[in-house]
Every structure is written in C-alpha cells, then in structure tokens.
Structure 1
Amino acid sequence: MAFDRLVRFIPRRQFARPLIGQPVDRLIDVGKAVYEGKAVEVRAFSGTSVLNSGSPTDQIETIDRILSPLSADEVGTIRCIGLNYANHAKEADVEVPDIPMMFMKPATALADPWPVPTVIPKHTLRDDCADYEAELAIVIGKPCKNVSEAEAPGYILGYTAANDVSSRASQFSQSQVCYSKGFDGSCPLGPILVSAAVMPDPGAFTIRGLRNGEEMQNSAVSDMIFNCAKLVSFLSEGTTLPPGTVIITGTPAGVGLGKKPPAYLKDKDEYVVELLPHVGSLYSVFEAEK
C-alpha cells in the first residue's frame, strides 16, 4: 500500500525496537510536537523500512524518539548538490553553475533529529566556522540509472528535510568539499518522509531555517537552479542510484557564512529546518565535541 507520510521512530515502551508508521493526525508537525513533549500517535506499518513499508496495522504507538527516515546502512553514500539557489551563489560571491555541482557525504554523516546531539568537531570549534544549511532531501525508491528528466519523478520515493552541516575553514582550505562536510553526524535528516505521490511538484515546498528561534533562511524551493527531476537525471548518468539513495539539493541564502558578521553555530545552539507542507520541522541541537 502506498503511504502519505512515514516516520521511523522508537515507541514509548520498554525494550522497543524501531518502527515505521503514519501519524494518526494527518496535519501534525511531528518534529515540533515531539520537541515540545506532546504525545504523537502513529499507526504502525507492517514493514521495517520506508523502502519496504508494508501496510498499516491496527497497532497504535506513541513516539518516544524520532529516527532518521533511513538507517546509515540504507543510504550508502549521500549525494549533495552545492550552489543550487541563485541567491546563495550571490551571497557566496560565486558564479551560478552551468551544471549541478555534486559532492558526497559518507553514511557516517547521517544523523537522527533531536534529542541526539549534532556534534561540532573540535577543530571546527577552534576555527569558529560551524555552519548550517537547510535543504530539501530526495529519497530514491528503486534502482535508477540513465533516466531522463521526464522519467526521474517515477524513481523518487519521497522527500524529507536535511541540514548540510559544514566546517567553513576546512572547506576553503582545499579544492574539494567532501572533507569539510563529511564529519560524523553532519547530515541530520527527517522528521517525516512525505510520498512523492503527495507532493508531485516539489517546487511547491517552502523551506526555512531558524537558529535559536531567529529566522536565518527562507525560500521557495521553486527558486532552485536545477530542479529535482534534473538532479536525479544528472546524477543517474552512467551511475546506478540504489534504493535508499539520499540526494540533498542545496541551500538557499542566509547561511552563517553570508551574514555580516558571520553567524556560525556554537555549543548548545538549536537549528530548525522547516520544510512545508507535510514534512514539518527537523530539530538539531549542537554540542561541542568532548
């Protein structure tokens, strides 16, 4: 059975294993509600993965902790797109690219939403350069290779929110960005995976980023330079994208680097990526590496 919105979570009971299911309240912002301590009921599905969700059961559970929609074993390598909003390219003072700019994060970068802390590495703290990037994430649902833009939407399972956490000093000290964006936990993902059938036009999403309650980023996803279909088609050229592949699609203007003075993340800072409609709020609380 097709799903509308899926959450992977630990339920409120002893010795519970991870489950997947649909929130009983179809409109609830699951991330925000759980963060505020509210009881969020979920109808469990028979499957154990969003990639094979099964069907809804009669089992109703309450969320104790939200997990990333996919496990690290399922995502493999995370594909990432840089400079995909013209306003972000402008604030970074670089030319708008002619083709998508791709880099990768390892599976070890995948992170759950709050309350699991997002750790700022020691060297990034030393250089005071930890940055946030609110992003729309695509999840691929079936093997995808050499697909056209017209075919690409048929390979997308759904969408969720991501934060492309970056170490700016490391980023600008070398020509490649994988090192500076690939640290453990540098890709929080969630809280909800919304079906591509529910959002046939991902350009209808809006995305915001809030640091400690202050709006830092706000954009329509339709402002992307390369849309989701273009990105999937481009990344599939000569390359198989297995089911579970996550593609994070770039960030709009408002990153800490672009502020005057720069507004980098500190120990105990909170950053919320809000992706509307349907996905809701991805909460991350940052913690200095011990």
Structure 2
Amino acid sequence: MSEPTAAPVRHPLEFGVALNPEAARTEELVRLARLADNRGLRLLGVMDHPYMPTTLDSWTLLSVLAASTEHIRLFPDVANLPLRPPAMLAKAAASLDLLSGGRVELGLGAGAAVQHGGGGMGGPRRSMKEAIEALEEGIAVIRRVWAASDEPAVYDGKHYRLEGVVPGPAPAHPIGVWVGAYGPRMVELTGRLADGWLPSFPYLDPAAFLKVNKSVDDSAVAASRSPSDVRRLYNIIGRIDPAGSGQFNDGPDSWIERLVELAVEGQVSGFMITPMADHDHQIEVFTAEIVPAVREALSKEGVAG
C-alpha cells in the first residue's frame, strides 16, 4: 500500500501534568491541579489503579478537579477497562465533558486485572490476547454510545454487548480516545483505531519511543489512515534536577533537548510530567523553564509550538 500523499498534520503542542490519585493527598491534588491550570498547562491526567487500597477512584477525582479548574483538559491516564464497563465509561466521559465545558479526553488501557488484582474486585480475568480483543470491542462500544443518533445502538461482541440502547447525551466536543500501548498487538490496534497514543517513560524511553512510533505510523497507513490521525503524547515520570543523572532525572537543558527531539522526530504534541517529589516546585520549573524553551527551540526548527 502506498504512503499517504497529503502532508502530515501537526497537532497543537500542549504540556501537562499527570497525578497519582493517592487518598492521603486529597487536598494537595486539588491544589496541584489549580496550580497547573494557573500556570498555563493544558493537560491533566489522573492515573487509574482502582484495585489499589491507597488510591482514590479516578473518575470521582476527575470530577472534583474539573470543578476546581477553568481551562485545563482532563483525562484518565489511562482508564482500566476491565473494571469500567465501556458503555458506562462512555456515559461518564460524556457527562463530565458536558459539565466541564468540553474539557475531557479518554485515556484507555487494556487493564492489568490479571497481574494486579482487578479480578479480585469482580473484574474479568483475561489473557493478554483477550484483553486486547476486549479493548477493541470497548472502543467500538464507547463510540456508539457517544454517537449523535436517535437510532438504538447495537453491538454484539465476544466481551461486550449493546442491545438497543439509545445513544446520548453526546459529549460537548469530539472526545479523543488515547490508548496506552507498548506491545506489537496493542500498537497495531492504536494505529488502526485510536485518536492518540499515550505511552509512559520509563516503560518506553525516548529511543524506544521513536522506534515504536514508526510501527504506529505503519499500522495507521495499513488501515488507510494518515499517521497524523493518531496524536502522539508522552507521559514522563521523572524529576527536573540539575544535580541528578540519567534520563529525565537531570537538568533542564537535557529535558529540553529530549522533548525537542521527540516533538520533531516523533511528532509528539503532548508532554505530561509526573513529578516524583516536590510537586509544586517541579510544576513551577516545568512551566517556567522547560515549556517556553521547548516552544522557542521548535520555532527555530520551523515547527509550530
């Protein structure tokens, strides 16, 4: 199959923060969300590990954070599908999108129910192959529930069904489905079906990201899509530290160099930092030093930032 002839579309460059919804930090989480919003960050992710006893329910927290902020867009980073039936997940996302003025996206993963106890909460115990099958079905169900249609939605899958539910309410804007993917089958599904690819460092370092990124492109083209149909986003669990060493545990100059490379070579248009400590300071340094320097460097490269 020939490559698409149209020039790739670059998505607007956005920066954000991802938070771990620890129950012991409830007031701090709200304060950090407000800080990120006030400092001009535009993406706010919340990790979703509902099987852990120390974490809040992510959708409940996202609702509170949406009510506590004005501009920043919010999303689960990424939602555990086995413990969140897709029709209800679609309803929750559309509802919060309407309530927040169109500020919700949907990060979605196949889930870790087998490895991390989701089955103990009543979730299905699936093999990886079955989990990926269920993710593909889940995306289909979610999009049917979001459809602006008066016709009943029907879906008959191996893992999920819709039996004539009337879709609605439609979200306030077209919600993006951003998939957290690493393995070949998940990457292929992402290129074929998703609106965005959302891996994380250190699970995928920058060099590995650029290699896997080509597979996302190839999968999109094989599905008769443009690679730019799949937005590239990157979670970074790390620390901006001039005295540190190692990838994303070092000074601002090294961070800037890596982010510029990922934006130019990997078409990344969304960077989220997950601070490991001193969260306020890390957000301040990220917004004051990293973000403007990356935008300036990309402008010199002729890339809109």
TM-score (norm 1): 0.23
Q: Which of 1 and 2 has greater Rg?
A: 2
TM-score (norm 2): 0.23
Determine which structure has the larger strand proportion and give its number.
1
* Structure number with higher relative contact order (C-alpha < 8 Å, ≥ 6 residues apart): 1
Determine which structure has the larger helix proportion and give its number.
2
